[in-house]
Amino acid sequence: MISPHGADALDPRIVSKNEDRKALLAEANTLPSIVLNSAAAANAVMLGAGYFTPLKGFMNLADAMSVASDMRTIDGLFWPVPVLNLCESIDTIDGATRIALRDPNVDGNPVLAVMDVTSIEKVSDEQLDAMTAQVFGTMDSSHPGVAVFRSLGRYCIAGDIHVLNFSYFGEEFAGTFKTAGEIRDEISARGWEKVVAFQTRNPMHLAHEELCRMAKDRLHADGIVIHMLLGRLKEGDIPASVRDACIRKMVDVYFPENSVMVNGYGFDMLYAGPREALLHAVFRQNMGATHLIVGRDHAGVGSYYGPFDAQAIFESLPEGALEIEIFAADHTAWSKKLNRVVMMSEAENHAPEDYVFLSGTKVREMLGQGIAPPPEFSRPEVAQILMDYYQLEDRKAAVGE
C-alpha cells in the first residue's frame, strides 16, 4: 500500500486508549483553555484522524510563512497550506505551556484536545496579507475562504496536540466519517492496491458518476473512494447529510459491489483552488489512495482560478513532493450526439449545443418545484432526494423558520 506522506506510518493524534483519554480529560478540566474557531477545530479533527500525518500539531508562524511562500516547512516537509490555530484573544492562556482546546461546534464547548504550547506569536498585517495572497491567490474579501481566514484572529498558537474526540462528526455522520487509518484498513481488507479518490462537496450527478468510472477503468484501479467533505461550507451549499444520502443511493443502485467506498472527513472547505487541491492529495495519500481525480475548477469558487489551475500546480512540484498521482480530468457532460457522458476535451466535432448543460441555479429551481432534471443530468433516485430537500426548505422559508 502507498506510504503516508512524509512518514513510514500514520501518526493520528487521537488518544486511542480509553484510560489515557479519561486521564487527559480530567487534566484538561484543570487547564487554562480557549474556545477554538471552526477552522482550527477542523484542523484538530484532521490531525486526530491521521489525515495530516506527519504533522503533530499546529504550525508556528515561521513554518506557516514558509509553507505559504514555498510550500515547505522550515525543516523541508512539503505542505501546501498552513495548519494554524489562530485566535483573537490570548487573555485566558497567556503564559501557559499546556492548554485545553474547546470545541466551538458542540453545545457547551467540551474539550476537543490538549495542546502543548511552544509559542504564541502575533501575526502582523504584512504577514497576514502575504499568507492570504499566497494561499488563496487573491485578497478579495468576497472570496469565502479569504473572508474566513482573515477573520480568525491575529494570535498564532503553536504546538503539538493530543485529540480527545472527533467533534460532532463521529455521531452526526456515524458510518460515513472515517479516520485515515480506518480507510486504509478497509482498503486492505478489500484487497485493493490501486485506489482512486474522488473529492466532493456536492451531490454527485451523472457526469460525476461517469467521471469516477472513467478514472477507474483507465487507471485499471481496484476501487474508488468517494470521499466527501463533512464540515462547514459557504452559504447555499447543500448540507452534508443530504449529499451523503444522494451519494449512497447512487452507489447502491449503479455501481457493482466492492467497487466503491463512501466515506467522509471532518474539515471545513477552504475554496483555495490549486493549493487546496494539493492538500486534498496529501490527505488522500495518507488514507491510502494511489490516485486523486482532479477535475475542472477543483476546490475553486467563482472565477478566482483558471479551470485547470488545480491540475497545473501538480506539474510544478519538485520530484518526490508527493507519492500520490492525479487523474487529470476535463469537464464531463452528456453528449447528445453520442448519447453518453463524455469528457468534453475528447469529444470531436461537438459544439456547445451538442451537450446537456444545466446551471446550478436552474437545477435548484427545478428541484424546488418538484421537477426532476433530465436523466442525462441526474439519476432519478438522486433527484428525488434533492427534490425532497429543496421542497422542505421552501416550506420552511414560507413559514419563516
94-146 residue pLDDT tens: 999 999 999 999 999 999 999 999 999 999 999 999 999 999 999 999 999 99
| pLDDT computed for residue 234 by the predictor | 74
Homologous superfamily in CATH for domain 18-170 = Sulfate adenylyltransferase (3.10.400.10)
| pLDDT computed for residue 233 by the predictor | 74
Whether pTM > 0.85 for this model: the answer is yes
* DSSP assigned state of 196: E
| Residue 257 burial (C-beta neighbours within 10 Å; 0-12, 13-18, 19+) | exposed
How do strand 340-343 and strand 355-356 relate by DSSP bridges? unpaired
| pLDDT computed for residue 113 by the predictor | 98
> Boundaries of CATH 3.10.400.10 in the chain?
18-170
Homologous superfamily in CATH for domain 175-398 = HUPs (3.40.50.620)
How far is the C-alpha of 174 from the C-alpha of 172, rounded, in Å? 6
pLDDT averaged over the chain?
Answer: 94
8 A C-beta contact, residue 261 and residue 184:
no
How far is the C-alpha of 191 from the C-alpha of 330, rounded, in Å? 30
Q: Taking 80 as the threshold, does the pLDDT of residue 397 lie above it?
A: no
Tell me the three cell numbers of residue 194. Answer: 490501486
8 A C-beta contact, residue 145 and residue 79:
no
Catalytic site includes residue 202: yes
- pLDDT one-digit tens code per residue, 268-315: 999 999 999 999 999 999 999 999 999 999 999 999 999 999 999 999
- pLDDT one-digit tens code per residue, 171-197: 999 999 999 999 999 999 999 999 999
How far is the C-alpha of 176 from the C-alpha of 178, rounded, in Å? 6
How far is the C-alpha of 56 from the C-alpha of 43, rounded, in Å? 11
Tell me the three cell numbers of residue 288. Answer: 491510502
Confidence of residue 42 (pLDDT cuts 50, 70, 90): very high
How far is the C-alpha of 78 from the C-alpha of 53, rounded, in Å? 11
Confidence of residue 395 (pLDDT cuts 50, 70, 90): confident
Give the active site residue among 72, 98, 202, 364: 202
Helix (H) or strand (E) holding 294: strand 291-294
Catalytic site includes residue 29: no
> Boundaries of CATH 3.40.50.620 in the chain?
175-398
Compute CA distances 177 → 45, 182, 227, 228, whole Å.
11, 10, 9, 9
- pLDDT one-digit tens code per residue, 209-246: 999 999 999 999 999 999 999 987 777 778 888 999 99
Q: Taking 70 as the threshold, does the pLDDT of residue 401 lie above it?
A: no
Handedness of CA 204, 207, 211, 213 (dihedral sign): positive
Tell me the three cell numbers of residue 190. Answer: 478489500
Give the active site residue among 21, 190, 201, 364: 201
Q: Which comes out higher in pLDDT, residue 389 or 150? A: 150
